[in-house]
Structure 1
Amino acid sequence: MSEMTVKDFAAKVGRDVPRLLEQMKEAGLEHKAETDAVSEEDKRQLLDYLTKSHGGGDGAGAKNRITLTRKTRSRIKTGERGKTIEVQVRKKRTYVKRAEDEAPAPEPVEDAGPRQLVGDMADSRAKREAQDAEDAKDRAAERQAREEAAKAEAAAPAPAEEPAPAKLAEVPQIPVPELDQSEPSAEPPAPPKEGRSDRRTAPPKKTAAKKGRGRDDEDRGDREERRRGGAAKKAKRSERRGSRRGGSQGGGQHGFQKPTQPIVREVSIPESISVAELADKMSIKANEVIKAMFTMGAAVTINQTIDQDTAAIVVEEMGHKPKLVKDDALETEVLSGISYEGDEITRSPVVTVMGHVDHGKTSLLDYIRKAKVATGEAGGITQHIGAYHVEDEHGGVTFLDTPGHAAFTAMRARGAKATDVVILVVAADDGVMPQTIEAIEHSKAAEVPMVVAVNKIDKEGADFDRIRNELSQHGVISEDWGGDTQFVHVSAKTGEGIEELLEAIQLVSEVLELKAVPEAPGKGVVVESRLDRGRGPVATVLVQNGTLRKGDIVLAGLHYGRVRALTNELGQQVDAVGPAMPVEIQGLDGTPDAGDDFMVVADEKKAREVANFRQGKYREVRLARQQKAKLENMFSQMGQDEVAKVNIVLKADVQGSLEAIKGALEELSTGEVEVAVVSSGVGGITGTDANLALASEAIVVGFNVRADAAAREIIEREGLDLRYYSVIYQLIDEVKQAMSGMLAPEWKEEIVGVAEVRDVFRAPKIGAVAGCMVVEGSVHRNKKIRVLRDNVVIYEGELESLRRFKDDVNEVRNGMECGIGVKNYNDVQVGDKIEVFDQVKVERTL
């Protein structure tokens, strides 16, 4: 082992360097500076010296004995005039460790200091017994000191003379105390504390000293006996507490033992973890993790998040075992326990009706369902996704009716993913339109077979060859032309071709061999959701496999709940719903998004944990997206004017419409005007929405919903802008108009007139005056001008004067002469042209 310096040795034993050098000098060592080396022999020599100086020796008993010296002072009041004598006692105590209580000597510790080695020799029990013996000696010395003081007081010749110092008889193992004379103190001596034998008490007067001496001895003995009994009880209580806690053992020894080897922990590491959390899992300080990563070449902070692989390397570097845990471990555990095995049966197909606006999708479905759905829709278009189940002689069919407007592209995409067969409705007199092409793309992306229903065949102008030709350009080829797509001519008005369409659907479903396990727990997809004022959150779901029953625990997207009621498309309450059946469920804690998967789970607690985990993950992703957008736009927006915003508080009746409107509004944003949906939700407009709109200066927009009484009161009192809509066209158009009014106007320059300089005159007070001829338009005095020389602009400013002969004028027309003075410019030359221009404000639109 390498030698250490005096400075290092002093830091290890907890001593100052000058004091350590002094002790080393007394021990006979030749160390004079803090940089001198200290060997093991020097340490042993210093230890021997310190041991002897504290009462030790060379024998075996020296290691079990320690001697301490201390001073105590007390005052003795003598005479009637209050003379005070100060008594100073130097006491020397030696503590011996008995053989029967002797514990095994500790192994020598390398580089241990003298203070530590000497202190380890003292045992609590030996100290207590030695203390008792010394206290008895102190009491005897105290009694003798009082007697000597009384004799000294009696031997005093006269009060005027100064009393001679009193001498106390020698006491075994106690030096003769020093008696100092002092004047009476203004403050009375502090009263003695019970249980402290080293504090001196003032002696009583001469007449009472003899009477009270015996009683004092008896009281002191009683106190000593009580003190010993209390100490014994306290020791027993401490021993009992230590045995209960497991922290101490009998004999005054602590039960804790220093680990002999490092503790290796198994650290669970998620996909991302902060430095502070990683340090907490390893039970070490975060600074240690930061140091370890710094040595590995990575500079991190305590709150920085690191990935799973990096954290695993750090854990191994710190001597622990990493255990990689996925973030979705809980979700995987819950879902893996659900079994969908069992006897399979043939289920009904799920059909999605797609096509362009006003091509007759809802009318066609309406004829099949024998219900007038289209007549009750605002604006003649479908605003929501509708799910209906139809039973006929060919079997059951579930229809999903999706809107055809461009804003509902996302809704149609979700409908295509949840379906087995797509019916593409094309009007025979209108042909293929933009939304028809989008429907074809969604169907191909979802790899769903398609059946083309050519509608409105009874109208004039129906051209079937045109429909086949236009659809073939997008990869939809009829069976008549050698393709694999069935074309069925139908009329939603007369019902012609409806039976053939249903047969085509059944034919495609037989080819697909659709199967389901009705005994399994129900699972499927959320078609739509809304917030009903009387029933709470209501979700329209499509059961794709298993059976959904009343009372089941459902996990749907970010929400969960127990099914309180099941309602079919006819408004009837049912107890169970099988595969390929749509139904409305109540009991969720919120409105899930359309397109979210739902499933039945066994444990409500696990479902709540998974839902909370998904919500937290969703918030993290959304926050990260917002932060990324801010960072990406930070430098691009520096130095630019603030972007104007149209803040909107949006409420809709169903989740699908809400998402579609929100997406359409956000697409209207430009670099100068931005649409910000500060709040959106499903349900009526409440007072909270109105207060939020007031705070954010937003427009309140309700789509097929209305404001309650509290919200109307706030809106009327504060004068907020409230708009109700039932058709998405009107909503988007009016928002676009509002954004156009916030666009910065454009300024267009318009040349008003041009004057040519024919001569230049010099005036003493005015300067250079140009004699000009107006060659184009008119010259105005209050408009801006430019001076052109060889068609190059050399100056831009204003006119200082405009004269016609000797008169000041405001305007000079074409073909007339005038005198022009250019403000702050005197270098006008013959041949220059003075161009007069004006700036015209042009309003902009989106």
Structure 2
Amino acid sequence: MTQVTVKELAKVVNTPVESLLQQMHEAGLAHTSADQKVSETEKQKLLTFLEKGSSTKTDGSKKITLQRKTTTTLRTPGSKSISVEVRKKKTFVKRSAEEIEAEKQKDLEKLQAEKKAKEAAQEKAKPAEVKAEPVATKPAAAKAEPVKAEEPDLPPADITLPVVDEVAAPATERKKAPTKRVEPDERRERKAAPRPAAKGKARLDDEQTARRGGRNRSKAKKRSNQHGFHSPAGPVVRDVSIGETITVAELAAQMSVKGVEVVKYMFQLGSPVTINQVLDQDTAVLIAEDMGHRVSRVSDNVLEEQFAASLKIDEGETFHRAPVVTVMGHVDHGKTSLLDYIRRAKVATGEAGGITQHIGAYHVKTEGGMVTFLDTPGHAAFTAMRARGAKATDIVILVVAADDGVMPQTIEGIEHAKAAGVPLIIAVNKIDKPEADPDRIKNDLAAHDVIPEEWGGDTQFVHVSAKVGTGIDALLESVLLQAEVLELNATPSASGRGVVIESRLDKGRGPVASVLVQNGTLRQGDMVLVGVNFGRIRAMMDENGQPIQEAGPSIPVEILGLDGTPEAGDEVTVVVDERKAREVALFRQGKFREVKLARAHAGKLENMFENMGQEEKKVLNIVIKADVRGTLEALRGSLSELGNDEVEVCVVAGGVGGINESDANLALASNAVIFGFNVRADAGARKIVEQEGLDMRYYNIIYDIIEDVKKALSGLLGTDVRENILGIAEVREVFRSPKLGAVAGCMVTEGTVYRNRPIRVLRDDVVIFEGELESLRRFKDDAAEVRSGMECGIGVKSYNDVKVGDKIEVFEKVQVARTL
């Protein structure tokens, strides 16, 4: 409800605040201050009290006088102001019960008289109808007699004159023919006469009579058809259902108002919108409630809930599944080399710069059982990827180099593991090096609440060497032991479910997604729903590229057949109905687009007035194409964080796959730089780049992209002008020369004094003059510079007020390139 303060209410009703507080106190309201709020219920209570006249000034308890005074100011063309005061006074007289009853009786009699007069006027306006008395003989026999033509044309005894005249007369004469009134005596003389008929005319049969009556009834109905709509006396309150997002047009339609009304209302609130603008739920609820309607929040996830309910419940026998282990750690601490030794494959040699750029998934068979490994990159740009890896894993192996110690990415790995609630196993690598110090690693990790088991903690520490294979078997035993404690189970007979580890766009095979099956069995030919994408699995390969037909729990596979490249971390669900999968996927795409538009619009509105009057930021536009989705996300996140209040990076577009003509045209239109990470441009894109002179660069190491972008942003920042103090000379004596004026005999106390540099004269460390030197002499010779500890004579150009004790400061201005 709308609430106002006592002061605002007093201003509305044109009453002093003290008087209004007194009236509210008499009405039983507990308001004592002008800043207190008054609700609608309290307003109604106060109004009821005032209507009774208990707190209004009365005249003998019979009259209530209300006064209102308004003052306006008129401005004449001569810039004169004229104050106009309008006073209004209205008096209400309280009547007694007898007077009210007498007035009611008077009104009732008046209404009855008007009713009688109206009935009399209607009776007088009716057409006269004359009916003949019934014939004594049988009516049926009389009707059946033939009509003679020579007898006079008289109406039959049982038919009224108006009806016969209306039917017998031509259509053009029916309205003009007057009604002939027949007196009673004349009817008696005619009752025995047979009923005549004109030549060529017959009696009205039943069909004609019915048709004539129907026609008359339709005319009467048409005359009595009046408009039955009555405009409502007060505002109409409607029930408005608002989802997570809603457009201005849809909101206006539910409130039964024009869209321009909502646009006008939001403009008054300081948020200009269009009729097709998407509003978030909170904003739409605020608008609808302020406009006086009942609002109910509706969840847009009804389709999702129905889809979740339609999925089959995992039923069947459960079995022990292999643990999913994520290997984390700082860059170059030996994570991939450790997996390389375990898998007996040279994975590290294939990585650019010896750094893992993607998430790799591998499963290996050991003597104690199968173990699935996830290798996450250790670079700082892949924080989000490591977080997703921790959520999809059962155990985390944190690799720490014994010769390097705990590093920033090591601490991040600990935080991700704790946030995911998974146990840690510390692999102290590179113990074969002479400078290795495993005990220091334990002390450093203990400071981050990672306590070894031998110190009374719950974290296993295993000393390994990925180069020579020391401690690898002990590490695998620790993983299998931890898996037994966790009691990891799955249902192979259930429908397949998993999570996307990575996705990429292959030129020959289309979208390829790396999936880790978490429960059930994933088979070739299954219809799967993956985030906002869906499709039928056309082919499945293991991590070595070999085709397989099905994959059980904890098995990583690559699937083909999706309609796009899903995001890393999206859930994979096997569905039976292809139509349902397409419907849910399209719903998710639309929802994602609406939410994105709403957030973008909210951000623009919030920053519109803040940026007004400020210098426009310099923006470096970039188009990124990468080989896999995870790398693209990491690059986009890392580059977007660069910049400051003056420069920023804007990733205009990003995608998976090679650089094509569309990417080149987009970069040309947006004046952007094209970055290709492990991808190349096709012939059409290269032609556009060469013709238009676009900047396109290829990379295979993330460090290089970040460094180049930092340099480009530093170039956009420009340069700063800085002052370097070169030397200071203290005035010891002042000499007067007829040619040079005042010459200061000085001692150089700091640095070097140069003749061709600007100077400042300081007195009591306050600058009193700024200029340049006119002369600099060492004894009688001119000098270009005088170093510290030497005496010299200085003549200041255009300044003769040098005194003993002043300091002459020599400086220079240099331009320094700004950096982020």
Tell me the TM-score normalised to structure 2 length.
0.64
* Alignment check: 8 A CA contact 2:503 2:513 kept: yes
Give me the whole-angstrom Cα distance separating, in 2, the residues matched to 1:292 and 1:700.
44
Give me the whole-angstrom Cα distance separating, in 1, the residues matched to 2:372 and 2:240.
51
Q: Count matched residues.
A: 626
* Alignment check: 8 A CA contact 1:383 1:403 kept: yes
Q: Write out aligned runs for 1:147-166 (5 A).
A: none
Counterpart for residue 338 of structure 1: 311
3-state SS in 2 of match to 1:735? helix
Counterpart for residue 635 of structure 2: 661
Give me the whole-angstrom Cα distance separating, in 1, the residues matched to 2:725 and 2:391.
58
Give me the whole-angstrom Cα distance separating, in 1, the residues matched to 2:808 and 2:300.
75
3-state SS in 1 of match to 2:398? strand
1:270 counterpart letter in structure 2? G
Give me the whole-angstrom Cα distance separating, in 2, the residues matched to 1:635 and 1:376.
51
Rate the CA distance shift 1:365–1:742 in 2: closer, same or farther, 3 A. Answer: same
* Alignment check: 8 A CA contact 1:653 1:704 kept: yes
Query: Is 2:501 the counterpart of 1:510?
Result: no
Query: Is 2:381 the counterpart of 1:407?
Result: yes
Query: Is 2:453 the counterpart of 1:487?
Result: no
3-state SS in 1 of match to 2:502? strand
Select which of 319, 330, 347 maps to 1:373.
347
Rate the CA distance shift 1:810–1:632 in 2: closer, same or farther, 3 A. Answer: farther
3-state SS in 1 of match to 2:124? coil
* Alignment check: 8 A CA contact 1:812 1:818 kept: no
Query: Is 2:572 the counterpart of 1:595?
Result: no
Rate the CA distance shift 1:817–1:389 in 2: closer, same or farther, 3 A. Answer: closer
Query: Is 2:59 the counterpart of 1:59?
Result: no
Give me the whole-angstrom Cα distance separating, in 1, the residues matched to 2:614 and 2:272.
34
Rate the CA distance shift 1:414–1:130 in 2: closer, same or farther, 3 A. Answer: farther
Residues 662-688 of structure 1: per-residue CA shift (max 9 Å, x gap)? 222233323333222222221111122
* Alignment check: 8 A CA contact 1:428 1:464 kept: yes
CA RMSD of aligned residues (A): 5.1
Give me the whole-angstrom Cα distance separating, in 2, the residues matched to 1:323 and 1:636.
33
Residues 560-606 of structure 1: per-residue CA shift (max 9 Å, x gap)? 22322222212122332222111112222222221122222333333
Counterpart for residue 560 of structure 1: 534
Q: Write out aligned runs for 1:526-565 (5 A).
A: 526-565=500-539
Q: Write out aligned runs for 1:216-227 (5 A).
A: none
Query: Is 2:519 the counterpart of 1:519?
Result: no
Rate the CA distance shift 1:753–1:500 in 2: closer, same or farther, 3 A. Answer: closer
Query: Is 2:739 the counterpart of 1:700?
Result: no
Counterpart for residue 730 of structure 1: 704
Select which of 745, 769, 784 maps to 2:719.
745
* Alignment check: 8 A CA contact 2:527 2:576 kept: yes
3-state SS in 2 of match to 1:58? helix
2:329 counterpart letter in structure 1? G
Rate the CA distance shift 1:474–1:289 in 2: closer, same or farther, 3 A. Answer: closer
Counterpart for residue 692 of structure 2: 718
Residues 97-118 of structure 1: per-residue CA shift (max 9 Å, x gap)? x999xxxxxxxxxxxxxxxxxx
Counterpart for residue 583 of structure 1: 557
Query: Is 2:757 the counterpart of 1:691?
Result: no
Displacement of 1:798 after TM fit?
6.9
Structure 2 residue runs of 5 or longer lacking an equivalent are: 1-106, 129-160, 180-207
Residues 293-315 of structure 1: per-residue CA shift (max 9 Å, x gap)? 99xx9999996958479859969
Give me the whole-angstrom Cα distance separating, in 1, the residues matched to 2:704 and 2:272.
53
Rate the CA distance shift 1:129–1:46 in 2: closer, same or farther, 3 A. Answer: farther
Give me the whole-angstrom Cα distance separating, in 2, the residues matched to 1:632 and 1:299.
9
Rate the CA distance shift 1:563–1:826 in 2: closer, same or farther, 3 A. Answer: same
Q: Write out aligned runs for 1:171-570 (5 A).
A: 268-273=241-246, 276-281=249-254, 305=279, 307=281, 324-346=297-319, 347-570=321-544
Give me the whole-angstrom Cα distance separating, in 2, the residues matched to 1:461 and 1:317.
74
Bigger mean CA deviation after superposition, 633-642 or 696-705? 633-642
* Alignment check: 8 A CA contact 1:270 1:308 kept: no
Rate the CA distance shift 1:542–1:314 in 2: closer, same or farther, 3 A. Answer: same
Counterpart for residue 86 of structure 1: none
Counterpart for residue 90 of structure 2: none
3-state SS in 2 of match to 1:471? helix
Counterpart for residue 94 of structure 1: none
3-state SS in 2 of match to 1:389? strand
Counterpart for residue 813 of structure 2: 839
Residues 801-836 of structure 1: per-residue CA shift (max 9 Å, x gap)? 8799xxxx99897966676553xx898889877655
Rate the CA distance shift 1:408–1:59 in 2: closer, same or farther, 3 A. Answer: same
Displacement of 1:509 after TM fit?
1.6
Rate the CA distance shift 1:567–1:842 in 2: closer, same or farther, 3 A. Answer: same
Rate the CA distance shift 1:133–1:785 in 2: closer, same or farther, 3 A. Answer: farther
* Alignment check: 8 A CA contact 1:770 1:821 kept: no
Q: Percent identity of the aligned residues?
A: 56
Displacement of 1:354 after TM fit?
1.8
* Alignment check: 8 A CA contact 2:251 2:284 kept: no
Residues 348-390 of structure 1: per-residue CA shift (max 9 Å, x gap)? 2111122232333222222332322222111112111011122
* Alignment check: 8 A CA contact 1:273 1:308 kept: no
Displacement of 1:269 after TM fit?
3.6
Rate the CA distance shift 1:837–1:437 in 2: closer, same or farther, 3 A. Answer: closer
Rate the CA distance shift 1:384–1:301 in 2: closer, same or farther, 3 A. Answer: closer
Q: Write out aligned runs for 1:3-14 (5 A).
A: none
Residues 47-96 of structure 1: per-residue CA shift (max 9 Å, x gap)? 999x99xxx8723349xxxxxxxxxxxxxxxxxxxxxxxxxxxxxxxxxx
Select which of 618, 631, 634 maps to 1:644.
618
Displacement of 1:652 after TM fit?
1.1
* Alignment check: 8 A CA contact 2:742 2:800 kept: no
Give me the whole-angstrom Cα distance separating, in 1, the residues matched to 2:582 and 2:370.
35
* Alignment check: 8 A CA contact 1:759 1:830 kept: no
Counterpart for residue 680 of structure 1: 654
* Alignment check: 8 A CA contact 2:303 2:584 kept: yes
Rate the CA distance shift 1:471–1:790 in 2: closer, same or farther, 3 A. Answer: closer
2:586 counterpart letter in structure 1? N
Displacement of 1:542 after TM fit?
0.9
